[in-house]
Each structure stands twice: as structure tokens, then as C-alpha cells.
Amino acid sequence: MRRRTFLERLFVIVVSLTASAASQHQLSNLDRGRALDILKGVSNDVKKHYYDPKMHGVDFDAKVAEAKAKIEKATSFNMAMSHIAAVLDTLDDSHTFFLPPIHSYRLDYGIQYQIIGNRCFLTHVRPKSDADAKGLKPGDEILTFNTYDINRDDIRRIQYVFSTLRPQSSLQLQLRDPTGAERSVEVQAKIVEGKQLRDLTGANGAVDVYDLYRQAQTYEHLTRIRYVDYGDALIIIKLPEFKYLVGSEVDNIVGKATKHEAVILDLRGNPGGAVQTLQFLAGGFFDKEVKIADRVGRKENKPQMSKSRPHPYSGKLVVLVDAESASAAELFARLVQLEKRGVVMGDKTMGAVMEAVHYEGQSGTDTSIDYGTSITDADLIMTDGKSLEHVGVTPDELLLPGAPALASGLDPVLAHAAESLGVKLTPEDAGKAFPYEWAPI
């Protein structure tokens, strides 16, 4: 018997949770046709652009045919989109996934959570949310998520399903608090209604244009680079993601670093991003050109190399990572290890390291809907001959904050990193270095 993919298994649960809602919103012939059109566009793009033309041995055409048959019987548009996503999941590739049409609403569950070691913990609870009102606290361990066991291998897909693909009005969580007491809690989401169609012509007071501008400002604020310095001895640089930076912007980061004897580069929670930024940053911390990785795809590709900077930093370097450090963040951390440039501390990284291109599509004529597909165009093989995909980076020093530290807002990992560089920093003060900031709902 064929083993079902993770998303196929998870969708059984999701469909059961939303059966009543689906029955209230039957799929029209028009929307069913759009779903089939999207499936065709997505499958054609994958077959044309995916880096491995053999699809890892997956009979991709057969998977597409199965999805088509399921869409013919789907009872809701969301269910149809789920079948498309499941096709791409059979490739088991972190950077190849379906981006469904945006929903006309936003959901906020008021919680942030992440894998630490092999367990999942709440890390933040939004004040005045339903989760807060029901007593959820940082340090609570999540045992099951909507009745599904949550673990390191599956968390990325769970987040994708319940945040992007099939958001639910509530989450059913089985929790264990730091004392060992277990309880089941249903967390209601805050639902913000929005628009599926936006007017970007500037009419109607340009409200939609302003809304997009405000969202862009929020993103820039939340992903800004932050610094905390401790005299000449140490500077801590918090890099939330590898967003697109030009050489001069990276030179500014390196310039701040050169004024200090040691640097802690905090890449915890960093999902990766622009290749160019990775190349510039590597050039800023190595005194020679170094190979980051060889690109392996359908055609011969030049290797990824660092881009040398005029005044690279030569002092002591510690890189912090965790289970949410992915892609370019993992490449940089592993490069530091391979070149013996510094020390990597923290938790094992995500193991989501490929190079991908985003493709956009539309379905419809008079009224069209947009969707997207992220498709891997190259695997990345580092100088040790290995890929980090599904493997991740194992730190030189494995440091895992426990439930008591999360509950008290402590950061023992950052404190230990500072102490290793000769700077006394308490876990309490380390926990205050970069206060968590919630995105506005």
C-alpha cells in the first residue's frame, strides 16, 4: 500500500475540522474550473523548471492526475487548493511549494512557537489575545496541534497548512506547562476581514495603496538589523533575515563590527533570503574569497562565491542559530564551520537549504485570481561535498533554552556566547537585548 505524504495525512484532519464550513460554501463550476486551471499551470511550471528532471523518482504526472480527480470531487475551493499543495509535497523539497490565492481575511492566533531540540514550546503570547485570556504562557510545551503530533520533522508543514493554506478559526492545543501539568485548550483566532481585490489606481482616497505602503513599513521595521554593543569588547548583531542588501549596506554592518574585538552574529529565527546578501556578508567576515557552495541543477552553473569587501572583519566571531534558522542562514553558519572562522552555537538548524525561483500565475479572464509557486532550481553542495537539505547545521556547542528560561524571558544562549568571548552578560539582561515585537493585526 502506498504511504500517504505528510500533507495528505494532515489534510484528513483539516478536512474533518472544516467539514461544516465546507458544506456551507459549495464549490461552483467556475471555481472548480479555476482550480483545475491552477493545477495545470503549477504542474507545467514544476516540470519545466524543477532542478531534478527525474523528480526524485516520483511519478509526478500520476500525482497530478490523482489531484485532478480529487479536485473534480472537492466540496470547497480551499480543499481544491490543498490537493494542489499535496502534489508538490510529494517532492519532499523545502523550497518547492504552492502559494494559493490570498484569503480575503487575516487570522492571528496570538501565539508564537518553535522547536527547541525535539520539542515544541510557546515562545510568545500576544497580550489581550484569546490565548492570553486562557492562560497560555511562554514555556508551555505543545504536545499536539489540532490533534496532530508536533515535531521537528513536521512543524514546517504544519505551519504552512494552518497559516497559509488552510487557516482555521481556532486551534486545538494539548499543552504541558513547566510544572508538568497537561491541559487541552482551544485558542480562538482574531479574524480581520480584508479584500481579495485591491484598487491600486489611487481612487477612493488611495486607501488600498496606503494599506500596502503601511504593510511595507511594518515589514521593514520588523526585519531591521539591530545592534547592542558592550564597549570595545563585543557587539551583538541581530540579523532577522537575509533581505536584499547592496554592498554598501553590508559594509555598514561590517564597519560597526570592526570597532569591536568580538562579534556575535545572531541568526536565530532567520529564514534566509537573498543570495547576494549572503555573498556580501561572507565577504565581510572572510579575508579571502571563499566558495559557499556549488549549484547543482539542470544545467551547468557557476558556484556561489563570496563577494570580497574592502575592509573585512577579522576579530572573534560567534554565530547563533536555532531550529528556525534556514536557507542562507544555514549556509553562512556552515561556511563559518568549514573555514574554521568562528564558533556556531545554539540549536540544530532547519535543514531547508535549496535555491528557488518564485513563479506567478493567474487564472481567469474578466476577473482573475493570482497564485504562485516556489520551485527549486538548484541544490547547493558545500565544500565538504554535502547538502544541508533535510540535514541542517549541527552547532559546535549545542545550547537549548529550557521551559523555565522561556517562561521567565531569559536568554541563556546569548549569555553563554557573550561569556565565551570574555563579556559578562546575565541571562536576564540577554533576554532584554532584543525585545520581541508583535506585528500589528
109 neighbors 97 (Cβ within 8 angstroms): no
Locate CATH 2.30.42.10 in the chain: 105-193
Tens-digit pLDDT profile for residues 389-425:
999 999 999 999 999 999 999 999 999 999 999 999 9
Query: What's residue 330's pLDDT?
Result: 98
More confident residue, 326 or 19: 326
Q: Cell match 480575503: residue?
A: 104
How high is the mean pLDDT of the chain?
90
Q: Is the pLDDT at 366 greater than 80, yes or no?
A: no
- The cell for 401 is 533554552
Looking at the chain, the domain(s) classified CATH 3.90.226.10 span 219-431
- Helices 6-17, 77-89: axis angle to 10 degrees equals 160
pLDDT of residue 145: 94
The answer on pLDDT for 291 being more than 70 is yes
CATH class of 219-431: alpha beta
Mean of the pLDDT values across residues 314-320?
98
CATH 2.30.42.10 fits 105-193, yes or no: yes
Burial 112-146 (b: 16+ CB within 10 A, else e): ebbbbeebbbbbbbbeebbbeeeebbbbbbbeebb
In this predicted structure, what is the pLDDT of residue 299? Answer: 84
Q: How many CB atoms lie within 10 A of CB 156?
A: 19
Residues in the chain: 441
Q: For residue range 159-192, what is the model confidence (pLDDT) as tens digits?
A: 999 888 888 899 999 999 999 999 999 999 999 8
The yes-or-no verdict on residue 66 having pLDDT over 60 is yes
Backbone CA torsion sign across 144, 147, 149, 152: negative
> Once rounded to an integer, what is the mean pLDDT over residues 258-272?
97
Torsion over CA of 25, 26, 27 and 29, rounded to 10 degrees? -130
Q: pLDDT (tens digit, 9 = 90+) per residue, 107-149?
A: 999 999 999 999 999 999 999 999 999 999 999 999 999 988 9
Contact 137, 125 (CB under 8 A): yes
d(CA 68, CA 71): 5
pLDDT for residue 53: 95
- pLDDT of 301 reads 81
Is residue 214 predicted with pLDDT exceeding 80? no
- Residue 375 near residue 382, CB atoms below 8 Å: no
Put simply, whether the predicted model's pTM sits higher than 0.95 gets the answer no
**What DSSP assignment string belongs to 185-232?**
EEEEPEEEE--SS---SS-GGGHHHHHHHHHHHHHHHHT--EEEEETT
88: closest CA among 269, 391, 356, 325? Answer: 356
